[in-house]
Chain A
Amino acid sequence: MKPLKNAVETDNLRKVFEIKQGLLRRNAKTVVAVEGISLTVPAGQSVAFIGPNGAGKSTTIKMLTGILKPSSGTASVLGLDPWKQRSKLVHQIGAVFGQRSQLWLHLPPSDSFDLLAEIYGIPKNDYRKRKALLVERFDLGRFLSTPVRKLSLGERMRAEIAASLLHRPQLLLLDEPTIGVDVIARQNLRDLVCEWNREEGVTVFLTSHDTGDIESVADRVIVINHGRVVLDDSLSGVSANTLIEGKPAGLEEIIAHLFNSAASLTMQNCISPS
């Protein structure tokens, strides 16, 4: 099979939700969650996809995984149409939603892993080797047989990420994977994601409100606000090329500045590039 050049390609991707109100006279109001996003993410790249609450990050990720049907525009993920070929696509992606677990609360991670192997149809021998590797690398041995409800959040997230890597995905989507996790566990998770990106060439698509996650994991930063891309640059480029009011600024300051800007303002308007 020819290796893919781009893991993600979107063209003018848009999602509009309709809200109807009133009992007899129905007033329809439309809310534009994603307003024409066009992106290209080369295979193997680590991308931080960030924005304030309600910016359209999760909606975009849900369209890229086939959970939501785009209102218009096109998306191609690993060469597949997410909405039309969801079942085929999800074989090749791993997803971790910090707010939603794929592990069973009352069972140990080991049982959830066994079930996931069955769901993905991983041959028994492959599964045994892969599980052993992930248990060792994510240091899951101590709590592999402990019910998930008794794990700390850091332990649970390690198990979540390991679970999402069982079937050797080509693309890993991480939606706020470090939410609520303490400083040490957070760094640990970031290191593991970086290792996997380097060693297996997994494309990483990360959303997070934590600039530490972004600085540790990402090669490239895409900032969206009000459903539009307002900044797309390499991680080093963002800090090196951007001045706020004539002064150099850290990533957190730049992002905060962008979050506070009105939707219609472009980068040139709100931040003076050096």
Chain B
Amino acid sequence: MWFSKILSYLRLARAYIKLNWSMQMEYRGAFVSQALAMFLNNGTWLAFWMLFFSRFPVIKGWEQADVVTLWAISAAGFGLGNAFCWNLHNLAAMVSRGELDVWMLYPRSLIPHLALGKMSATAIGDLAFGYFIYIVMVRPDLQHFLLFNLLVVAVAVVFIGFNLWRGSLAFYFGQAEVLSEQWFFAMITFSTYPNCLFDGWMKVVLYTLIPAGFVSGLPVEALRDFDFSAAAFTWLGALAVLISGAASFELGLRRYQSGNLLGMRS
């Protein structure tokens, strides 16, 4: 029963990826330029950190290789989580504009169906960037590469759950697009800074309210020390963020007020 349900969702995911890919290819130039722009944008930030670590080689135990790993895992995880689940990134706007109506008329679980509904070209650029720098700059052995893949999926789960958290705000506050966006930028900022820079109460915040610790902290430790317990905690944290995100969405859905704006699916 569960197995056939999972298979059915995998088939649906394949169908959505095929459809979204066709749509991206309808505007091939825009797709390539967006993906490339994101690749270059990430590259600029990484170059800044490389320069920084060339002046100060060790900061609280972190070296240049760690910051490359950090950027690889956060870009690839963010890219994977958003490339195929882009609707969740815009969830707050969708809720406040009443755009869930169409999705609620299909016989599929709302969260996975909504999540799969839209792809992002820029997030594909992030995904490619993460893998590119990890393979080219870190040059991992097979074991590290396999662990990297496992952690990229966990980080993607963190971002999916986090998007559900911030998107669900719109159910409770009505108009929550700005708040949701600010929360997103805080998450991105802390996910791309070395986790060693933060201590005390800030560390608590980074494993709760802004769960960037599961992106820029534990996964980097897991890869640097080849530490399975850090990898396991990353996964536990990712699942906790996802489950709490799904719960806040489902609870919020009871307060959904729909809307009457004109709309097309694009």
Contacts and interface: CB of A to CB of B under 8 A. Distances in A.
Do these two chains interact? Answer: yes
Interface of A: 17, 58-59, 62, 65-69, 86-88, 90-91, 93, 95, 97, 99-107, 111, 114-115, 118-121, 147-149
Interface in B89-146: 100-102, 104-109, 113
Contacts of B202: none
Given A68-B258, A107-B19, A119 B104 contact: no
Contact of A111 (B22, B102, B262, B263): B22
Interface stretch (B7-15, B155-163, B213-221): B7-15
B41 interface: no
Given A65-B104, A88-B107, 6 more contacts: A58-B260, A69-B256, A99-B263, A105-B265, A106-B27, A119-B15
A140 B265 CA distance: 20
A17 B258 CA distance: 11
B109 A95 contact: no
A90 B107 contact: yes
Contacts of B101: 62, 67, 97, 100
Contacts of A90: 104-107
A106 B107 CA distance: 24
A2 B23 CA distance: 43
A87 B265 CA distance: 21
Given A91-B107, A107-B26, A100 B102 contact: yes
B207 interface: no
B264 interface: yes
A95 B103 CA distance: 12
B254 interface: yes
B104 A86 contact: yes
B257 interface: yes
B187 to A, nearest CB: 28
Nearest to B99: A100
Interface in B15-59: 15-16, 19, 22-23, 26-27
B158 to A, nearest CB: 27
Contacts of B113: 119
Contact of B23 (A17, A68, A97, A104): A104
A115 B113 CA distance: 12
A120 B262 CA distance: 25
Given A111-B19, A115-B15, A105 B107 contact: no
Contacts of B16: 115
A107 B23 contact: yes
30 contacts: A58-B258, A58-B260, A66-B104, A67-B100, A87-B108, A91-B107, A95-B105, A97-B101, A97-B102, A99-B260, A100-B101, A100-B263, A101-B264, A102-B102, A103-B264, A104-B19, A104-B266, A105-B265, A106-B23, A106-B26, A106-B266, A111-B19, A111-B22, A115-B15, A118-B11, A118-B15, A119-B107, A119-B113, A147-B26, A149-B264
